[in-house]
């Protein structure tokens, strides 16, 4: 169906040109799911954009051929390429919220797409739109089609985007990270739908993702990319089950396994590449400074009967808003110096509980203690309260949690003067440089801005900022969900090292149960704001007690190929 031969793509800027893709060849057959996997910057999305004819102005195809059936995609005029997009090739983007127009109902968006490519009346287009919503599993499609995107959950919005991609019965669908922002239950539903559509409609899929577990679960063949080049290609079971290329082998070693706990992750390396080296002596200085402030480890955290209400929707124009229970009498304890993994689906209350502990959300009821000292709720916790320093949070998206107008040195020295930890400016700057070394970044990073770093480097800066407050409790809210497997391994290794050195009490929130197993000593499972199960982590993975917990484990994508015989 699709053949790509020796594709090369170059991007120009004022400093010259960069090759984003070099001599890449692949093909996609009808009803086949072809996975593209690799680290950030591997060229996965660039290949998808080139096939769609959506390269930015700075990008140009310098070599290669792309054919869809008998159509040469490189020779199409702009008008012909425009007609082809959406009709013969469709795309599913990572974030459905930004893919959908917030000012138009789902009905208007589906009808507009259908009528742009098909000669149908509005009634016929609406009938097809309702049928598509029913096909992708949206209940009460006739009434729900009148809703706006914000009135759907993240998983339901992704289903709507899939319906948009299917509107014109395309031959090929390019899915670019379609499940990254979804929890395991919704992710499993979306992946099952993609497999079903490939089989029933004979649609070819290119599935772009950094999640190797997803590729292993649904793809028929896979192409492993690194730096714009193909490292390995072939049937998924062979490539991922018995990788031949050293890079693929290292990439597989960086994937968190669901069936066992690792001490450390092996990081993918490419011959000839050198990484930035941090100053060991400065890292030691930061370590000694932290140990002198943190002391013998983190405190114990206890929460009892935490209940949170949010305002719900109105049932009538003059009716009051009905309260929505986000947390329902949740109680748990995190032991001193241990890691508590907090898991559950989207909307289960994980992040809400973290925000209550960090005084970023107000509980309706409940009590909290840090080492036996009562923790006041948000509205009663003054800015100068000691817990403001002792409890620090690392958020999911480091780019939005770092001030884009501040240099790294300003970001890192802020906690030192804000909490009165260091009065001398030169000493603050020295400690900021030392903390960068501790998290594995070179000193020259201090004068750069957040946008000048990769996602993994930004997350390291966010961790460094949290540590410069000399915290006792570190809350990590989905700290690796947006990172590719190798960068995720680096950040997890860093958090493991910090835990070993300083004994921080940690609340680790994630929807990735394989990652949680690598990090946690204990685990707590939330569902619809209620605590379903809690206990030692390894006992949970060996045999969870609650049916909901068993379902979560079963839905987690994992590489379950049979081991090759020796």
What is the tens place of the pLDDT at every residue in 548-558? 999 989 888 76
What pLDDT shows up at residue 181? 64
Kindly report the CATH number that applies to the domain delimited by 1-87+172-178+204-240. Answer: 3.40.50.300
> 376 vs 323, which has greater pLDDT?
376
> 293 vs 89, which has greater pLDDT?
89
18-22, 413-417, 500-504: least confidently modelled range: 500-504
| Average pLDDT estimate for 488-502 | 85
Residue 227 CB burial class (10 angstroms; 0-12, 13-18, ≥19): middle
Distance, in Å, from the CA atom of 167 to the CA atom of 110, rounded to the nearest integer, reads 7
Q: Helix (H, G, I), strand (E, B), or coil: what is residue 298?
A: coil
- CATH top-level class of 289-299+336-359+382-555: alpha beta
Q: What's the pLDDT tens digit per position in 520-559? A: 999 999 998 999 999 999 999 999 999 999 998 988 876 7
What pLDDT shows up at residue 319? 61
Q: What's the pLDDT tens digit per position in 129-149? A: 999 888 877 888 888 899 888
Please tell me which of 45-54, 83-92, 322-331 the model is most confident about, judged by mean pLDDT. 45-54
| Average pLDDT estimate for 426-442 | 90
Return the structure tokens found at 141: 């499609």
> 455 vs 508, which has greater pLDDT?
508
| Average pLDDT estimate for 350-366 | 92
Residue 154 has pLDDT above 70, yes or no: no
CB atoms within 10 A of CB 75: 11
What pLDDT shows up at residue 168? 82
| Average pLDDT estimate for 366-379 | 92
Residue 388 CB burial class (10 angstroms; 0-12, 13-18, ≥19): middle
Return the structure tokens found at 150: 């914000």
DSSP class of 335: -
What pLDDT shows up at residue 564? 41
Instruction: Please state the domain extents for the chain.
Output: 1-87+172-178+204-240, 89-169, 289-299+336-359+382-555
Return the structure tokens found at 238: 């062979």
| Average pLDDT estimate for 113-120 | 86
What pLDDT shows up at residue 58? 87
- Percentage of residues of the chain with pLDDT beyond 70: 93
- Going by pLDDT thresholds of 50, 70 and 90, the confidence category of residue 566 is very low
> 165 vs 332, which has greater pLDDT?
332
Residue 563 has pLDDT above 80, yes or no: no
Distance, in Å, from the CA atom of 387 to the CA atom of 417, rounded to the nearest integer, reads 16
Cα separation values, 276 from 101, 371, 389, 440, 451, Å: 42, 39, 31, 8, 18
Q: What's the pLDDT tens digit per position in 57-96? A: 888 999 999 999 999 999 999 889 888 888 899 988 877 7
What pLDDT shows up at residue 271? 53
Residue 180 has pLDDT above 60, yes or no: yes
- Going by pLDDT thresholds of 50, 70 and 90, the confidence category of residue 296 is low
What pLDDT shows up at residue 193? 84
Residue 118 has pLDDT above 70, yes or no: yes
| Cα 564–chain centre separation | 31
Return the structure tokens found at 261: 């706990």
Enumerate residues 6+ apart whose C-beta is below 8 A from 99.
93, 161, 164
First vs last C-alpha separation in the chain: 38
| Average pLDDT estimate for 444-470 | 87
Instruction: Using alpha carbons, select from 147, 434, 116, 504 the residue that is nearest to residue 279.
Output: 434
Distance, in Å, from the CA atom of 522 to the CA atom of 540, rounded to the nearest integer, reads 9
């Amino acid at each position: 169906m699709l053949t790509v031969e020796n594709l090369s793509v170059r991007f120009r800027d004022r400093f010259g040109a960069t090759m984003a893709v070099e001599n890449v060849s692949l093909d996609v057959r009808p009803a086949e799911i072809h996975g593209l996997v690799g680290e950030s910057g591997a060229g996965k999305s660039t290949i998808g954009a080139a096939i769609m004819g959506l390269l930015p102005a700075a990008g140009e195809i310098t070599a290669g051929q792309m054919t869809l059936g008998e159509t040469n995609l490189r020779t199409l005029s702009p008008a012909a390429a425009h007609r082809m997009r959406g009709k013969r090739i469709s795309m599913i983007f990572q974030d459905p919220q930004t893919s959908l127009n917030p000012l138009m109902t789902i009905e208007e968006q589906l009808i507009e797409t259908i009528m742009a490519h098909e000669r149908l009346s509005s009634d016929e287009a609406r009938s097809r739109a309702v049928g598509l919503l029913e096909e992708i599993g949206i209940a009460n499609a006739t009434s729900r089609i009148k809703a706006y995107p914000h009135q759907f959950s993240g998983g339901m919005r992704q289903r709507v985007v899939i319906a948009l991609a299917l509107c014109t019965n395309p031959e090929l669908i390019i899915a670019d990270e379609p499940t990254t922002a979804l929890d395991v239950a919704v992710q499993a539903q979306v992946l099952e739908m993609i497999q079903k559509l490939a089989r029933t409609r004979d649609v070819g899929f290119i599935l772009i993702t950094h999640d190797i577990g997803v590729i292993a679960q649904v793809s028929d063949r896979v192409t492993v990319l690194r730096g714009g080049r193909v490292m390995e290609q072939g049937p998924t079971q062979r490539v991922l089950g018995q990788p031949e290329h050293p890079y693929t082998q290292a990439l597989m070693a960086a994937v968190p396994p669901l069936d066992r706990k690792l001490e450390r992750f092996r990081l993918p390396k490419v011959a000839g590449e050198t990484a930035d080296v941090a100053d060991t002596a400065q890292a030691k200085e930061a370590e000694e400074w932290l140990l002198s402030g943190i002391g013998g480890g983190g405190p114990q955290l206890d929460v009892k009967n935490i209940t949170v209400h949010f305002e719900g929707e109105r049932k009538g124009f003059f009716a009051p808003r009905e309260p929505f229970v986000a947390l329902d009498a949740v109680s748990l304890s995190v032991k001193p110096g241990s890691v508590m993994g907090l898991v559950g689906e989207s909307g289960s209350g994980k992040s809400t509980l973290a925000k209550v502990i960090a005084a970023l959300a107000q509980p309706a009821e409940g009590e909290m203690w840090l080492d036996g000292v009562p923790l006041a709720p948000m509205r009663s916790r003054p800015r100068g309260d000691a817990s403001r320093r002792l409890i620090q949070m690392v958020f999911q998206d480091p780019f939005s949690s770092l001030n884009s107008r501040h240099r790294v040195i300003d970001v890192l020295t802020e906690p030192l003067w804000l909490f009165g930890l260091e009065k001398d400016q030169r000493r603050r700057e020295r400690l900021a440089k030392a903390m960068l070394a501790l998290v594995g970044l070179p000193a020259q990073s201090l004068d750069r801005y957040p946008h000048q770093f990769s996602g993994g480097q930004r997350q390291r800066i966010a961790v460094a900022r949290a540590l410069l407050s000399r915290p006792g409790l570190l809350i990590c809210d989905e700290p690796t969900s947006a990172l590719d497997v190798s960068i995720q391994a680096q950040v997890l290794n860093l958090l493991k090292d910090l835990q070993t050195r300083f004994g921080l009490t940690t609340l680790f929130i994630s929807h990735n149960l394989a990652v949680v197993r690598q990090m946690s000593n204990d685990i707590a499972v939330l569902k619809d704001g209620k605590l379903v199960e809690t206990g030692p982590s390894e006992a949970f993975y060996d045999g969870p007690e609650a049916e909901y917990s068993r379902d979560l484990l079963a839905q987690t994508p994992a590489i379950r190929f049979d081991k090759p015989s020796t």
